[in-house]
Structure 1
Amino acid sequence: MHTITVSKEINAACPCFAGVAVYAEVKNSSFSAALWHEINIFTKELTSTTRLDDIKSQPAIAATREAYKNCGKDPGRYRPSAEALRRRLMRGIPLYRIDTLVDLINLVSLRTGYSIGGFDADKIAGTHLELGIGKSGEPFEGIGRGLLNIEGLPVYRDSAGGIGTPTSDNERTKMDMETTHILAIVNGYDGAEGLKKAAEMIQTLLINYAASDGGEMLFFN
């Protein structure tokens, strides 16, 4: 498990922040029918009980949006990933099918409203991550997005640079079919309540769909 710390600038901008990481050995697959059955059930539940305008007031999403404002980013232009996923479903657009590890992280993000970073742990440079705030001109290649302007976004950095923001993770450390160790980070900008439940969801899905024992959990703030 990597060590994770929170910078003074994040503590000042987001004093309620708390996080939890799950580190586990896994076996990825291109598609899991059983997992997608769960995703489809949630999709029907969400679209039948929620309005598009309700999404940004979901507690974890609202807290992440507030964190963006406090760090210097417009959450209307750079949406947190959990909000973007829910908005996609509410517009009748199916989720992308990527692979089992990405898909299960997306399901937990949809269920909880947390923006969750999912990384190939073996691609992370060094053994330490720090959560800070993106700087002007800082290089960051978002997954499927090209160069992303992360100035004013909360960002996890390893010894080589940024690897994850609540809007997008970095191509350099993304999970793929060769991934055998996952580091998933749940970001609680509204505090620690709910983090354990979200981490346990991840562990359960890893056990059920990624040939894992669920791994270990680390809380930090």
Structure 2
Amino acid sequence: MQVRIAPEIFEYIPDFKIGFIQYDDITVGESPQMLKGRLQLHQESLFFEMDDKKVTDFRGIQEWRQVFKKIGKDPNRYRHSAEALYRRVQKQNYLQSIHSATDLNNFFSLQYQIPFGIYDVEKVQGGLITVRIGVEDEAYLGLNGRENSLNQLIVSADEAGPFGSPFVDSERTAVTENTKKAVQIVYLKPSMSVAEAEKLVSSAANMFTQISGGSSTFKVMAFE
């Protein structure tokens, strides 16, 4: 699976960068107790931290709000997925375990304060994923159960059109317990250096394969 970033994104955000991880021969199932415990503990810790701290005070949350603003979306109306998770935690509406892949994705978003997307390779059409900006009339049914307009949002698209976004991902390419191959897109903080980004992405990939088995390869992509 190949990935490219459309040049138009760098016109809005010159220091835009993503991590791209490919997983093979993974096993998705019920999360081990260790992961469930870490996810719960992290949410409880964040809840108490937000007693005297606003969601927008967190650096990653703040930076991705700015990304949305720069591409033309009001971050108060269109909250990126990491911010949405933080606001759930703030209300003590804690995330419940779904399966190992989704639980890890949510854990990483909470830990690093940035959006993560994970997709079933078998449901991605064609061999190329393009990260670009959505256009008018593009939409998909999201994991939030709603039809979501993608106009002026960053999206990941295959031959059939957009299937992912740091706003909300689609149902079409969702990972399930039948998934054996997956790709994960890490929407990194623009302020990170490439070296910092590689360390973060490598750490996430290693934790994922420790729990789900299989193997991983990754790369960090930025303006060249």
Question: TM-score over 0.5 for the alignment?
Answer: yes
> CA separation of 1:53/1:45 partners in 2, compared to 1, >3 Å: closer, same or farther?
closer
Equivalent residue of 2:220, what SS? strand
Partner of residue 206, structure 1: 208
Which whole-Å CA distance do the structure 2 matches of 1:203 and 1:189 have between them? 17
State how far apart, in whole Å, the 1-side matches of 2:206 and 2:218 are.
12
Q: Residue in 2 aligned with 1:196?
A: 198
Per the TM alignment, residue 47 of structure 1 is displaced from its structure 2 partner at its CA by 1.8
Residue 148 of structure 1: SS of its match in structure 2?
strand
Q: Please provide the CA RMSD for this pair.
A: 1.7
After TM superposition, list the pairs within 5 Å mapping 1:9-28 onto structure 2: 9-25=8-24, 26-28=26-28
Deviation string, structure 1 residues 28-76 (Cα, Å, up to 9, x no partner): 0033222111112212221222347522232222121111111111111
Q: Is the Cα–Cα contact under 8 Å of residues 55 and 86 in structure 2 kept in the other structure?
A: yes
Report the Cα distance in structure 2 between the residues aligned to 1:66 and 1:105, rounded to whole angstroms. Answer: 22
Partner of 1:29: 29
1:115-148 CA-partner distances (Å, limit 9, x unpaired): 0111111211111111111111113121132210
Change over 3 Å in CA distance of 1:151–1:189 after alignment to 2: farther
Q: Distance in 2 between matches of 1:43 and 1:116?
A: 17
Matches within 5 A, 1:124-143: 124-143=124-143
Q: Give 1:27 shift.
A: 0.3
Q: Could you tell me whether the CA contact under 8 Å between 2:144 and 2:168 is conserved in 1?
A: no
Query: Quick check: 1:59–1:190 contact (8 Å CA) kept in 2?
Result: no
Q: Which residue of 2 aligns with 1:71?
A: 71
Give the gaps of 5 or more residues in structure 2: none
Contact 1:105–1:202, Cα closer than 8 Å, also in 2: no
**Taking structure 1 as the reference length, what is the TM-score of the superposition?**
0.92
CA displacement at 1:12 relative to structure 2: 0.6
> Could you say which residue in structure 2 is the equivalent of 1:7?
6
Relative to structure 1, is the Cα distance of residues 206 and 188 closer, same or farther in structure 2, using a 3 angstrom cutoff? closer
| Structure 2 residue aligned with 1:122 | 122
For each residue in 1:143-162, what CA deviation from the matched residue of structure 2 results, as whole angstroms up to 9, or x when unmatched? 13221011111111111100
Unaligned runs of 5+ in 1: none
Q: Is the 8 A contact 2:198 2:219 kept in 1?
A: no
Tell me, what secondary structure is at the counterpart of 2:139? Answer: coil
For residue 180 of structure 1, what is the aligned residue in structure 2? 180
Q: Does the CA-based 8 Å contact 1:140-1:149 persist in structure 2?
A: yes
Distance 1:86 1:197, change over 3 A: farther
Paired residue secondary structure (2:54): helix
User: CA deviation digits over 1:156-192, x for unaligned, max 9?
Assistant: 1111100111111111111011100110111124144
Structure-to-structure mapping, 1:72-91, within 5 angstroms: 72-91=72-91
Counterpart in the other structure of 2:60: 60
